[in-house]
Structure 1
Amino acid sequence: MSSFLSKAGTAVEAGEGVWPVRRRRILDWLVNETRGERFIDNILVEMCEKLLASGVPVARATLHFRMNHPQWIGARILWKEGLAEAKINTFAYGIENTPEFLKSPVNAIHQGAEEVRKQLEDTADDEDSFYQELRDDGLTEYIAWPVEHTFGKRHVATFSTSRPGGFTNEHVDFLRDLLPALTLVSEIRLKNIMARTLLQTYVGPHASEQILSGVTTRGSGATVGAAIMICDLRDFTEISDLWPRDDVIHLLNDYFDAMSDPIERYGGEILKFMGDGLLAIFPLSKDTACHDLLQAIREGQALMAQLNQQYAGSGREPLRYGVGVHVGDVMYGNIGSRRRLDFTVIGPAVNVASRLETLTKEVKRPVLLSRAFVEMADCAKDMDSLGTFPLRGLGEPVDVFAFPER
């Protein structure tokens, strides 16, 4: 098929104009050449650079995605001309009820609008702060369109220009024709992110990486050395019987926040919540694992003390808890039925930590540690030695230590 050079120097097939050829090239790139790119923000940056090179005067572009995340309702990926990397902002639950969001073009798209188009050079009767920010950035036109993913999931793409007079009709057609391909590549990346986020939410960061890498068969896993921490709330049965349901849930969330945040901050991994208890490990592959676990407990105790002060102010009884700590080898992997698996740790070392947690009820000390742990942590001199105790189901008695009483 013959071809000729356009005035812009682009090879154009006979019978086609410049814009269709340029558009097809970007479409081909989106569909066929982005397979090796994991992240949609990088794809957005490269797409906008290709748009500029093709003569579409995009100066700003965003993608707005709803998310399945315990903290964030959504995220915005923002590119501006001249940026080598996009900026990513997350938004907490509740923003969807703010006046700013309710009158935003993004909300209009979520409510069913098929297009929001705003000429920014026309300032008559327009006091919207969002559009004024765009004007202050020198932009002349803004367009938002829905990005329709499967099962009715609606997200948003926006494009803005600083070209005097805004986009031409050819520019708008060019951008609109990219949406189906952008929808496909964004949905794949978003589902990858959501799968990773959901796994991290429910099984923790390390276990989620193991599962995503293919450790999904029953019995698969490895033996690892770990410092083990088991924590349990006291008198929870009585609280559940006497308190309203919503208050019980709120109490549990407060308690888990206080104990869990330090664990994660110091590199521990919470493998499961068990009613009013939790199981966490600090892998010994990190030299400071035992020290990190102790710091996590101390900070957790401080946060629990603050929480109990708040409860005392409202006339509630303080929350009590027990923590058992041990160290040793554990089997870390998949356990369960043929169709339902749990990624967790098992082994004698876990049993010792569990029995120590139970022993806290008897000795009336909230944190108990085994000799094996305090020796590895080199902290025996900083602990109270409580003596040797037989632990149910275990052959040998265990030397038990506790945090000093204040």
Structure 2
Amino acid sequence: METSKLQRIINWLIDGARSSGGPAEMIADVCEHLVEAGLPLWRFGIFIRTLHPEIFGRNFIWRQGKEVEVGTVDFEILDTPEFAQSPLRIVFEQGLEVRGRTDDPDSKRFPFLDDMRAEGVTDYVAMPMPFLDGSIHATSWTTRHPGGFSDDDIATIRAIMAPLARVSEIVSLRRTAAMLLDTYVGNRAGARILGGQIRRGHTDTMQAVIWLSDLRGFTALSDRLPAETVVEILNHYFDCQVASIREHGGEVLKFMGDGLLAVFPIDQYVGDTAHVCSRVLEAARASRASVDALAIPVGEVVERFRFGVALHVGSILYGNIGGGNRLDFTCIGPAVNLAARLEKIAGRVGRTVVASEGFANSCRQSWRELGEFPIAGFSQAQRVYGLAEEAPVVMA
């Protein structure tokens, strides 16, 4: 490859590959530029490890004439025979370059290359892509060219690795930041923080449905079971709610011991309060069914669980609150306070789902008025509603 053509590609990467719209497009552009400059590339893969509790990494696969395939791999892959016999395992664990010419008998040690050989591949190179933090990521390069990659081709691939690594690291860091924010503060809050809403006092007023729930009998449970078992139970218990909340348009803002606070934003311009409340109630029913079905063996006993959730609709203040340089992205306001009080009432009356008068009026379901209750901090007693389908349960 001509030095000038290679240098133009390197300079383009160093400049941030600005003409590309995103990671997949950037990878396609890199590969196509290299092919135009003379590299006999047929397939390229880039594998980026992620900082995510469930996802080991992401992969992008480019083939000539096809769109880039984007996928994710979970941690279970580390225990598979395929990974144990993969060239990428050597790259990830040892940071070494691995080459496998398909006409070389030694390449038989990598079953993956049998698939490549069947597709007409003549040469394969896997190269480490180190980031500045010392983590090792990987790329793979294959060709169908007779005789495989030349020495000049390998030199070109090695020359492109450093600038490719820098751009990939920048993209990866931004995605990691977004994923961590999504994981720990929620997707909407994460997007706001990443967008620059980071100063204390940066808040917005939002109309929303508030969901506040907790696990019945949690204090007694914590007292009689080992802490590790309690954590396991809580994780399973929260799984029963989080999937339903997100599926129905909500965002989990925080976990507070066994408590969960979530919000379901209401579009003030569309005026979709009734629709949002209906979806929230669907999520509550789905969560109730999941918790009812939850059974965790602990020793010789199978633990079963009950929970309560309070639903209210109102105006909340949503944003950064805290002290010094330690902030929390959360929501506050009288509506949140009322939801918290209603959740306690749910436990007193033995109900799983209770709603405020405002929520019940917005969601025309089969509600039964449970009475008026004095609420601490509120000048007037509040009407509380329960689902007609539920019978009160007295907790032992």
TM-score range for the pair, normalised by the shorter chain length: over 0.9
**Which of 50, 54, 64 is the aligned partner of 1:67?**
50
Q: 1:385 to 1:54 in 2, by over 3 A?
A: same
Do 1:38 and 1:189's aligned partners in 2 also have CA atoms closer than 8 Å? no
Cα RMSD (Å) of the superposition?
A: 1.8
Decide which of 272, 294, 299 is 2:281's aligned counterpart: 294
Partner Cα separation in structure 1 for residue 211 and residue 121 of structure 2: 55
2-side partners of 1:113 and 1:184: how far apart? 17
The alignment status of 1:22 with 2:5, answered yes or no, reads yes
**Residue 359 in structure 1 maps to residue 345 in structure 2:** yes
Shift of 1:113: 4.1
Tell me the distance in 2 between the aligned counterparts of 1:61 and 1:324. Answer: 52
Supply the AA of the counterpart residue of 2:279: D
Range that drifts further, 232-241 or 35-44: 35-44
Give the drift of 1:98: 1.9
The residue number in structure 1 matching 2:290 is 303
* CA contact 1:62–1:78 (8 Å) conserved in 2: yes
Please report how far the alpha carbon of residue 392 of structure 1 lies from its aligned counterpart in structure 2 after TM superposition: 2.0
Is 1:171 the counterpart of 2:180? The answer is no
Report the residue type matching 1:197 in the other structure: M
Residue of structure 2 in register with 1:4 after alignment: none
1:140-159 map, 5 Å: 140-159=122-141
Change beyond 3 A, Cα 1:179–1:278: same
Partner residue of 1:320?
306
- Mark the CA change 1:211 to 1:49 in structure 2 (over 3 Å): closer, same or farther: same
| Pairing 1:402–2:389 present | no
SS of 1:131's partner is helix
- CA deviations on 1:11-62 (whole Å, 9 max, x unpaired) are xxxxxxx521121111111112513646322211111011111110110001
Q: For 2:34, what is the secondary structure of its paired residue? A: helix
Identify which range, 286-295 or 200-209, moves more after superposition: 286-295
- Where does residue 394 of structure 2 map in the other structure? none
Q: Is contact 2:312-2:335 (8 Å) kept?
A: yes
Alpha-carbon separation, structure 1, partners of 2:193 and 2:329? 9
Stretches (4+) displaced over 4 A: 310-314
Residue 11 (structure 1) aligns with: none
User: Taking structure 1 as the reference length, what is the TM-score of the superposition?
Assistant: 0.91
5 Å matches for 1:7-406? 19-32=2-15, 34-35=17-18, 37=20, 39-83=22-66, 85-123=67-105, 126=108, 128-285=110-267, 287=272, 288-308=275-295, 315-379=301-365, 382-403=366-387, 404-405=389-390
CA distance in 2, matches of 1:73, 1:66: 6
SS at match of 2:319: strand
Shift of 1:122: 3.3
In 1, the alpha carbon distance for the partners of 2:63 and 2:281 equals 46
Counterpart residue identity of residue 40, structure 1 = P
CA distances 1:275-325 after superposition (whole Å, capped 9, x unpaired): 1111001111172211111011011111112214x5599633421211111
What's the CA shift string for 1:52-111, capped at 9, x where partnerless? 11110110001111111121011111111111x311121112211222112211110122
Instruction: Confirm or deny: 8 A CA contact 1:222 1:332 kept in the other structure.
Output: yes
Q: Which amino acid aligns with 1:77?
A: F
SS in 2 for 1:126: helix
Percent identity over the alignment is 37
Give the gaps of 5 or more residues in structure 1. Answer: 1-17
Aligned partner of 1:116: which letter? Answer: V
TM-score in terms of structure 2 length = 0.93
Where in structure 2 are there 5+ consecutive unaligned residues? 392-396
The SS at the match of 1:56 is coil
Q: Is the contact between residue 26 and residue 47 of structure 1 (CA under 8 Å) also seen in structure 2?
A: yes
